[in-house]
Structure 1
Amino acid sequence: MIGKLLIVDDQAIFRQGIAKMIGEHELGWQVAGEAENGREAVEQIAALQPHLILTDIRMPHMDGLELAEYVHRHHKETAVIILTGYEDFKYAQAALKFGAIDFLLKPCNEQTLIEVLGRAYEHFREGMLRAQRQAADRRALEEHVVRSLLLGLPCDDRLAQRAGAAYAGKELVLLRVESYFPPGKAYRRADLGLLQFALFNMITELAECPPYHGRLVSVRHDRFALFTELVEEEPARGLEQRIAEACRTYLGLAVTAHRCGPAGEPEGWSGLYRGAEEQRAVPAAEPPAPRLPAANVTRIREMQTELETRLVLGQMAQVKEQIEAMLGRLPSMPPEDARIETLSFVMALGRTVSRLFGGEEARFDVAVPIESLPALADTGAIVAFAQERAERFLAQFAAWQEDKNRNLVTKTMAYVEEHYMESCSLAEVAEKLHMSGTYFSKVFKRETGDTFTNYVTKVRMEKAKLLLSNTDMKIFEVAAAVGYDDPNYFTNVFRTTQKISPTEFRKRHR
C-alpha cells in the first residue's frame, strides 16, 4: 500500500528538495501535492485526500499549528508531521494535542527525513491493516445476520435493522450450485471446502464490480444469496450469465440463479428465500461443507495489497521474500489447510495480474488449474504446485515490466518537452504513466543515469538560454516561460547549473 503525502511550506526550494528526496528512496510515500501555506493546503485536502501532511510551522495566512488543528477536526484519518526550527519547537509541541505524530527540526538532513517518514509509514501501514481487520470482523457479523434473516432464524433487532439499511434498495438473487461432483471432474467430498472457497471468491470478484456493487453471502454449502444494485439498462440476466460462464469455465460447476426481486424490509427476506426454494425444491446432493470464514476472503485481499504495493515500488526482493515466506508455511500445515492457503495465494496472484498488467481475460488465468489442487495428496505436491504458479507469475511480471519500461524514457522526455513550462513534477509525470513516484524515479535514473528532477532542470535551462540569447524578454518573463514562478529561485538555479547569472549569460551571447 502506498501513502499519499502533501508537502506544505512557503519555500518552493524546500518543497522541491523534500519531494526529490522522497522520489529517490523507497519510503512507501508518493507526493500527491504541494502547498505554500495552510490555507492552500486546506483547499487541496478534500481533493487529494492525503494520508500524511508534512507542514512547516511558520507560514503566512494559516500556519502549521492552525492547519494541524483543522486536520484534527475535519480529517482525523490524516496524519501530520510538523517542520519546525529550534526557536519554534515549544510552540510546535502544542500540535501534539491536535494529533501530530512527529516533528522534524529544520534544517533536516536526508537520513533524518528518511527515518521520520519511515516511522510515519509504519504508522500508516498499521492503521490500514487494523482497518482491514475491523472491516473483516464487521463483514463476518453482517454475513451471520443476513444468513439468519434469510433462514428465518432468531436475530437481534438492532443488527437486523442495520443489515436492512445496508442492503436497502438492492435486488436479491439466489444462486445454487447444481452439483459439486459434475461428470468428468475428479472432485471428492473432502474438496467441498476448497471448491466453496474458490466459488465464493470468483462470484465476489464478478459481483463487486460496477454497476452491480454486489454483496455475496454463503447461506448453505450449495446456496448463495447475492444482493446487487438494480441495473435497468443491463441486458436481462447479464450478471447471472457471467457468473454461470465463469464457474463453468474455471471450475466445471453448474450454477443457476433465481431473481427474487427487491430485497425490501429484512423481516421479509426469509419469505423471498423460501419462495425461491419452493420453486426449485431439489434435495441437496452433498453434505454441508465448512462455511467459508470471512478471514480467508480478507487474507486474499491482504496478500494482493502487499504484492501490488511492493511491485509498484519496484521491491522485487521483498516480493520474492513474501512468496518464499508463504511457501515456507505450507509444509507445517495439514493438506486440507495447505490447499486453502495455496488457493488464497494463487487467487491473490490472479487478481494482481488482472489489476496491474492484464485485462478481463487475465482475471482468473493463474487460478485456472484449480481442479488439479484436490488431486495433490500430500503437502510436498501442494508446495510444488504453489512454486510453479509463483514462478509463472514472476515471469509474467518480468515480461510486463520489460514491455512497460521500454518506452518509459521516450514518453517521459516527450512529456517534459511539452510541459516544462508547467509544474512538471515527478509525482505528476508518474501519475500520467500510472506509476508510483518512487518506482518511476528509480526506473528513469537506471535508464538515463540521471534523476528526473535534474533532467527537467537541464531542459528548462536549455530553453532559458535560447530565450536569453534570442529575445528581449525580462528575466522574470524568462523564468515564467520555463516553469519557474519565483524569478529569484530561477536565477539561483541558473547560476548553480550554468556557473553564470542569467544577466551575464545574455551579455555574452547577444
Structure 2
Amino acid sequence: MDSELRILVLDDEPPIRKGICTLITHKLPSVRIVGQGSNGLEGLELYRSTQPNLIITDIVMPEMTGLEFLREVRKTDLHTPCIVISGYDEFSYAREAIRLGATDYLLKPISSTELIRAIIKATDSAHETKHTDYEELRSSASTLFLHRLLNGELVEIEKVLQACKTLEISLQEGAVTVITLASPNAEEITRALQWAQTRAVTVTQRGPHGVLFIQGSATRADHLAADILSLNLPALRVGIGQPVTTLSSVHISFESALQALTYQAYYPHERLFTQEMIDRSTPYLDSTDIDTLRLKEILLLGDEDELVTWFNTFFSSLFYIKTPPLSYLKGMCIYLLTAVHKHLGEDLGITKSYFDRVAPFNASTVVSIDDLYNEVLNHLVVLNNKVIVQAIADSDIVIHQAKQYVENHLTEIISSTEIAEKLKMSPTYFSTYFKTKTGQTFRSYVNSRRNEYAKSLLANITMSIEEISEQLGYTDYRSFHRIFKRMNSITPSEYRKRITKR
C-alpha cells in the first residue's frame, strides 16, 4: 500500500461518512483522510485544496450530486481513481459512474472487507495507470529523440549520450550503421522491428520506413540484414547505410540507407540494397541545361508527337551513367515541370493550384524508372491536351494570339502596327489593350522575349555573335550589342563567356 495515499470522502449522511473514515483509518493506518464533504460543491473545493489521489463519493447528494462532481473533476483530471457508493441499485447510475472512471460501484450498506478490497484495487489501478502514462511518455520522447538524431539535429555528443541514458535507449558512442526497411505491407516492417528488438537493437519507425541502429562493426549490420531477410517477410526490402564513427553522424548513415533503397528502381527483384550499388559519379547535366522554353513552345503548339520526341531525348540525357540515383532523376524531372509551369503561368495566367488540381504529380510515390518516365510524360500530355487548351479558352484570346505571333517571329522585326492589323484592331487601341491586360508595353514584351531567345542562341558556341545578331533581325551588330547590354548589364560576348564556364 502506498504510504502517501490521500483520500477524499463525500457523503451527505454524517454517520455513513464518519463510519467510512473510521473504518479506513483503523484498517489502513498509513492512509490519510484529507477531506470530508457533504455534497459535490464542497467536494470540488476540497479536491482543489487537498489534491487527493483517491476519491470515495456518494451519488445522491444535495446541491451537486456525486456524478456531477466527477464530471467536473474529469475536465482536468482523467486519472485519479474513484470509488462510488450508493443506496440505489440503478444500472444507469452504475453505467455513468464507470464512464467517469470509477473503479468500483458499491451498494450501501458497505462491508468493511468490501471497502478495503475496493481501495486496494483502486490504488493498484492508479499505480498501473501512472506506469502506463510514464511508458507512453517515454516512448513518445524516445521516438522524437531518434527522429531528431536521424535528421542531423543533434550534434553535441554529450547531450546525445545524456538523452540516451535518460530515455533508457541502449545507444553508445562509437561506430553505428543504419538499416532501413521498406515494404508495401506495413505489418512486415512491424514484425521485422519487433524481431530486431529481441536482438537488443534500437529501432524506430520513420514515416513509411523501419529504422535499425546497428552498433559495432559493419559486418554485424550485414549479418543482421541477412537474418532479417531470412524471416518470412517476402515483400520486405532492406537498405544498408554507410557506417559512421559517431552517433552525431548517424543521419549520414540513414540518408545513405534510404538512397540505397531507391535502387530497387533498377533491381526490382533484389531485396538487399547496399552502398556498393550506388554510383556516385558527378552528373554532367544540370537544371540550367534543360531547354524548358523549347518545351513550352511545343506545348503551346499542341504537337503531341513532337512532345514525346523532346521528352524522350531529355529523359535519355539524364542517364550519364547506367544507374544514376533515382533522387537525381526525380529532381531533374521536378525542375522540368516546375519551370514549364512557370512559363505557362506567365503566358496563359495559369496558377499553380490549377496545375496541381488538373495535372497532379507526386514524385514521392514513384519507385521505378518506368513509373517516373510514365508519370512525367503523362503529366506533359495532360498539359498538352487539356490544361493549355482550357487555359487559352479561358484567357484573353487577343493577348494569346499576339504572344503566339511574337514567338513565331522572334527573328523578325515585329511592330505593334503589324500585330494590330493581323488582329483587325487599330494600332493605338491594340497598344493600350496590351498594356492594360499585361502590365507592360508591347515593345517591352517583344524585347524581353527576343532577349531570352538571344541568350539561348549565345549558349550555342557554334554561332558567332554577328550571326546571332543577323538571325535576330538586327541590321547591324552594334544595335544588338547595345540593346543586349542595356537589358542584361553585360555584353553578349561577356554573357557567352560566363555561361560556357559552367
TM-score by length of 2: 0.30
Taking structure 1 as the reference length, what is the TM-score of the superposition?
A: 0.29
- Which structure has the larger Rg over C-alpha atoms? 2
